[in-house]
Amino acid sequence: MTKKLHPQTLAIRGGKEQTEYREHNQALFLTSSFMFDSAEQGAALFAKEIKGFTYTRTANPTIAAFEQRISALEGAERSVATSTGMSAILASLLTFLKAGDHIVSSRSLFGTTVGFLNGVVAKFGIEVTYVSQTDLAEWQAALKKNTKLFFLETPSNPLGEVADLRALADMAHKAGALLVVDNSFMSPYGQQPLALGADISVQSATKAVDGHGRVMGGVLSGSDELMTQVAVFSNACGLAMSPFTAWTLLSGVETLSVRMEKQFAGALKVAKWLQAQPQVKAVYYSGMPDHPQADLVKTQQNGGGIVVGFEVADQAAAWKVIDHVELFSKTANLGDVRSTITHPWTTTHGRMSPEDKQASGIQPGLLRLAVGLEYTDDLIADLQQAMA
Ligand SMILES: *Cc1c(COP(=O)(O)O)cnc(C)c1O
């Protein structure tokens, strides 16, 4: 078929490894190694003269099917699956960096990523400069001769600030650097960083791709050339995803676009309802028609995503909402069919100093919702009774 397929079709039909048994669903290959017909064939497989599977840390048919399906959704030549989102982020950086190199990164990052950059990457003599998510002049000013990579996630957590991916891709490429984008918050349904000029899209498959809060996984997508290097790095470091995880994620991803379409619409309805409440001082959601970057959002996102931030009077008021909700789960996970609520000041951003939190716009009265697949009016009624 020459017609460009819709993501809803690709999520189901993109990527398949089939055996001689012609199984309809994707088979689960729980095996650590694969046999050779002869010594000669074994030698040819290891020399990569013929294609085939040898050992699951290197490649496995179930993992390959998952990687192909994510490639179809991200619009990538190739993807590499890893054990968690964090191991995928590790691979996206350390495959390409060495001691003496420099990274420019947005300040608005997932907390564990900040810990990884400051606690691990820095230890190997790689320097990081943090800049504003939205101020392109700060990115430009941070460039050095040894800048090799730009890193960011967009929209930011939980304030929904949007980075201009096309402009940052141009700036990175002029400087000879790679642009790596953490796409966990939007998923490939909501945003395709590669189409906007990014070199690598990396995501935690634990979130929207699984969608049911069952397994941990990560995946990186990009050109064949870059992903071949990532695959060699991942094999050497043993970052592989488990075949069972890949099999679970293959069923999760089949409903990605229907889940995301409903969850994005639910998040927008909740955000608009919150904005009309007198107790709510501010709502942060990149899908709002009055979002300060609404024009940019329209050109790079398919909707506003699932995460909604909103601010009430103070920490006591925020904790009261958390302690009184009945449907929302009190957990920091997101992208699940179950809606969640958290207090960033004391959880996801708890390790930052009060000054750094204030500087990043995180206030004590801020709450973060990740909207799931429950009936939206039930979620609104739950918030209403909790805020009363
Ligand atoms: C969850 C998350 C990660 C880390 O993924 P894990 O699968 O938990 O290792 C990285 N970035 C973002 C934006 C996330 O939400």
**Which residues lie below 8 Å from residue 37, measured CB to CB, with a gap of 6+?**
none
The count of C-alpha atoms lying within 13 angstroms of the C-alpha of 64, restricted to the half-sphere facing its C-beta, is 16
Instruction: Return the residue whose CA atom lies nearest to atom 1 of ligand 1.
Output: 204
Q: How far is the CA of 111 from the centre of ligand 1 (A)?
A: 9
Per-residue confidence at 311, pLDDT binned at 50, 70, 90? very high
> What pLDDT is stored for residue 349 in this prediction?
85
Domain 7-254 shares a fold with domain 256-387? no
Distances in Å between the alpha carbon of 301 and those of 105, 254, 272? 21, 20, 19
Per-residue confidence at 2, pLDDT binned at 50, 70, 90? low
Instruction: Return the residue whose CA atom lies nearest to atom 7 of ligand 1.
Output: 85
Task: Answer whether 218 contacts ligand 1 (Cβ < 6 A).
Answer: yes
**Which residues lie below 8 Å from residue 49, measured CB to CB, with a gap of 6+?**
none
Could you give the CA distance from residue 190 to residue 187 in angstroms, rounded to a whole number? 6
Could you give the CA distance from residue 326 to residue 192 in angstroms, rounded to a whole number? 35
Task: Answer whether 86 contacts ligand 1 (Cβ < 6 A).
Answer: yes
Whose tokens are 């997508």? That residue is: 221
**Is there a contact between 81 and 219 (Cβ–Cβ < 8 Å)?**
yes
Could you give the CA distance from residue 285 to residue 271 in angstroms, rounded to a whole number? 7
Residue 194 has pLDDT above 70, yes or no: yes
Whose tokens are 């920490």? That residue is: 315
> What pLDDT is stored for residue 355 in this prediction?
87
**Which residues lie below 8 Å from residue 196, measured CB to CB, with a gap of 6+?**
165, 166, 169, 300
Tell me which of 89, 110, 245 to substitute to probe ligand 1's pocket, judged by most ligand atoms within 8 Å of the beta carbon. Answer: 110
Could you give the CA distance from residue 267 to residue 128 in angstroms, rounded to a whole number? 34
> What pLDDT is stored for residue 185 in this prediction?
95
What tokens were used for 360? 């990043």
Per-position b or e across 319-330, b if 16+ CB within 10 A of its CB:
bbbbeebebbbe
Tell me which of 83, 184, 245 to substitute to probe ligand 1's pocket, judged by most ligand atoms within 8 Å of the beta carbon. Answer: 184
Q: How far is the CA of 184 from the centre of ligand 1 (A)?
A: 7
Q: How far is C-alpha 316 from the chain's CA centre?
A: 31
> What pLDDT is stored for residue 126 in this prediction?
98
Which CATH code for domain 7-254? 3.40.640.10
Instruction: Return the residue whose CA atom lies nearest to atom 5 of ligand 1.
Output: 85
Q: How far is the CA of 235 from the centre of ligand 1 (A)?
A: 21
> What pLDDT is stored for residue 333 in this prediction?
87
Task: Answer whether 206 contacts ligand 1 (Cβ < 6 A).
Answer: yes
Domain segments of the chain: what residues? Answer: 7-254, 256-387
Q: How far is the CA of 110 from the centre of ligand 1 (A)?
A: 7
Could you read off the pLDDT of 51-97 as tens digits, one per residue?
999 999 999 999 999 999 999 999 999 999 999 999 999 999 999 99
Residue range 220-227: mean pLDDT, rounded: 98
Q: How far is the CA of 183 from the centre of ligand 1 (A)?
A: 10
Give the whole-number percent of the chain exceeding pLDDT 70: 99
- CA torsion 76-77-81-87 (nearest 10°) is -70
Could you read off the pLDDT of 13-58 as tens digits, one per residue?
888 778 889 999 999 999 999 999 999 999 999 898 999 999 999 9
Distances in Å between the alpha carbon of 249 and those of 6, 236, 258? 19, 24, 15
Q: Tell me, what amino acid is at 377?
A: D
**Is there a contact between 284 and 160 (Cβ–Cβ < 8 Å)?**
yes
Distances in Å between the alpha carbon of 284 and those of 136, 304, 306? 21, 10, 12
Residue range 256-284: mean pLDDT, rounded: 97
What tokens were used for 250? 């293959």
| Angle formed at CA 28 by CA 22 and CA 32, multiple of 5 degrees | 120
Strand 307-311 versus strand 366-370 pairing type: antiparallel
Distances in Å between the alpha carbon of 6 and those of 80, 164, 203? 22, 25, 21
Residue 342 has pLDDT above 70, yes or no: yes
Per-residue confidence at 1, pLDDT binned at 50, 70, 90? low
Which CATH code for domain 256-387? 3.90.1150.10
